[in-house]
Amino acid sequence: MTGEALKARLLARAVAEGFAACRVCRPWDVPEVPARLAAWLAAGHHGQMGWMAERVHWRGDPAALWPEARSVIVLAESYTPAEDPLAALARRDCGAVSVYARNRDYHDLVKKRLKRLARWLIAEAEGDEGSGLSSQSGTGARAAPAAQTPERGALSAPAAQTPAAPSNTFTPVGVKVFVDTAPVPEKPLGQAAGLGWQGKHTNLVSRELGSWFFIGSIFTTLDLPVDAPEADHCGSCRACLDICPTAAFPAPYRLDARRCISYLTIEHKGPVHTELRARMGNRIYGCDDCLAACPWNKFAVAASDLRYAARDDLVAPPLAELAGLDDAGFRAHFSGSPIKRIGRDRFVRNVLYAIGNSGDPRLLAVAQRLAGDADPAVADAARWAALRLAI
């Protein structure tokens, strides 16, 4: 079987598994990432996400993460909402939860799908022994860079290679799957593979899928034919920049996470700066404003997995009920949800900021009850909310 034939079967299988799109690039096709990452970190735009500054040699250079990999299969999984993602913002006594977190944790769903596809790929390629599809064969449009160790992590210039002669020695196919849980620059790889382009909000945008999709990747030792990279199609549009309630974009294509509501409600530990609390509105987990504003969403496709459909109790959950959750109640309520990972204290802190922004005097007593909470950030948020509502 030729590389082209295997790739065609791979694309068909990916769609059958439930992915919305599948493209291929080389691990070394993102030479711009190290400099961009270094500048972002130097500006402090990663905030408290110290892990972003760790393993920079891998995060900036996918070829260093696994030097044996010859191809990166980048896949999109749609989670387009059935309802208006911003409708909950008008219900000030309720919380607004980001679309992706309104049901099951996408990490679990996407990774299982990736593993099934990877197992299929191994069986399909190894079932055609001697076809020359292994990393030794040299099939594919571009040469690999010179060998490098993970410790170095510096990009090397592509080195010319002579394709090896087909060998009668069987070489097992290697694969590794990733979905937002490893130092992999998934969005730049997605653009290099032609899946979409990084828009002015820094998220990946597709002409066929809009903005509502997760990204997963399969690194493999197979030398698959690659796709052309995608060009930028944002033009003069500023919709995603102008809608941001906290002005988190200092410039197009640049995000200061320290002002991003998704970062503030999920990653930020301790009290949020008072200047930003009022701008958070009733967003209690994540923020969809910049994604929802993108005009390319007119091409968004429906999610193929019903487990992404919003739970009724998470479309616009009452703030008073959420504020009353203790640790056990929080864990039970958000079992299987990505919200569970931030813990009760950070979540209730977010809820109290929303209560303070609600303008609803009926919620004053709720805030006052939590003013003595054992967690300092929760107690601080409760006192702030009570003061706001008592004015």
pLDDT tens across 238-277, in order?
999 999 999 999 999 999 999 999 999 999 999 999 999 9
- Pairing type for strands 96-97 and 283-285 reads parallel
**b/e 105-124 (16+ beta carbons within 10 angstroms → b):** bbeebbbebbeebbebbbeb
pLDDT (tens digit, 9 = 90+) per residue, 32-80? 999 999 999 999 999 999 999 988 988 999 999 999 999 999 999 999 9
113 and 14 inside one domain? yes
Total number of domains constituting the chain: 2
267 and 165 inside one domain? no
248 and 143 inside one domain? no
Average pLDDT, the chain: 90
Of the three residues 189, 220, 251, the one that is the final residue of a domain is: 220
97 in a domain, yes or no?
Answer: no
- For residue 270 the two structure tokens come to 């301790």
Structural contact between residues 62 and 28, judged by C-beta atoms closer than 8 angstroms: yes
116 in a domain, yes or no?
Answer: yes
129 in a domain, yes or no?
Answer: yes
33 and 68 inside one domain? yes
Cα–Cα distances (Å) from 358 to 186, 385, 390, in that order, read 37, 9, 12
Evaluate if residue 146 carries a pLDDT over 50: no
Please give the distance of CA 200 from its chain centroid, rounded to a whole number. 16
Which among 84, 93, 105, 180 is annotated as catalytic? Answer: 180
Pick from 104-118, 131-145, 169-183: least confident = 131-145
256 and 379 inside one domain? yes
Output the pTM of the full model. 0.88
Per-residue confidence (pLDDT) for residue 132, from 0 to 100: 45
H or E element, residue 329: helix 327-333
176 and 130 inside one domain? yes
160 and 55 inside one domain? yes
3-class secondary structure for 71-119?
A: EEEEEEEECECCCCCCHHHHCCCECEECHHHCCCCHHHHHHHHHHHHHH
Evaluate if residue 136 carries a pLDDT over 90: no
231 in a domain, yes or no?
Answer: no
Residues spanned by the domain of 107: 3-84+103-220
Of the three residues 174, 189, 220, the one that is the final residue of a domain is: 220
Q: Phi/psi at 197 (nearest 5 deg)?
A: -130, 155
197 and 270 inside one domain? no
Per-residue confidence (pLDDT) for residue 279, from 0 to 100: 98
126 and 243 inside one domain? no
| pLDDT classification of 182: cutoffs 50, 70, 90 | confident
Of the three residues 220, 250, 275, the one that is the final residue of a domain is: 220
288 and 197 inside one domain? no
| pLDDT classification of 391: cutoffs 50, 70, 90 | confident
Evaluate if residue 149 carries a pLDDT over 50: no
Distance CA 318, CA 305 (A): 27
332 and 278 inside one domain? yes
Evaluate if residue 150 carries a pLDDT over 90: no
**b/e 78-101 (16+ beta carbons within 10 angstroms → b):** bbbbeeebbebbebbbbbbbbbbb
225 in a domain, yes or no?
Answer: no
Told to judge if 180 belongs to the known catalytic residues of this protein, a careful annotator would answer yes
Per-residue confidence (pLDDT) for residue 142, from 0 to 100: 38
Per-residue confidence (pLDDT) for residue 170, from 0 to 100: 56
227 in a domain, yes or no?
Answer: no
Distance CA 203, CA 233 (A): 13
What residues pair up with 210 in beta bridges, in sequence order? Answer: 206
pLDDT (tens digit, 9 = 90+) per residue, 266-319? 999 999 999 999 999 999 999 999 999 999 999 999 999 999 999 999 999 999
Taken in order 240, 246, 251, 257, the sign of the CA dihedral is negative
Per-residue confidence (pLDDT) for residue 181, from 0 to 100: 78
% of the chain exceeding 90 in pLDDT? 85
| pLDDT classification of 171: cutoffs 50, 70, 90 | confident
110 and 246 inside one domain? no
230 in a domain, yes or no?
Answer: no
- Residue 139 or 280, more confident: 280
152 in a domain, yes or no?
Answer: yes
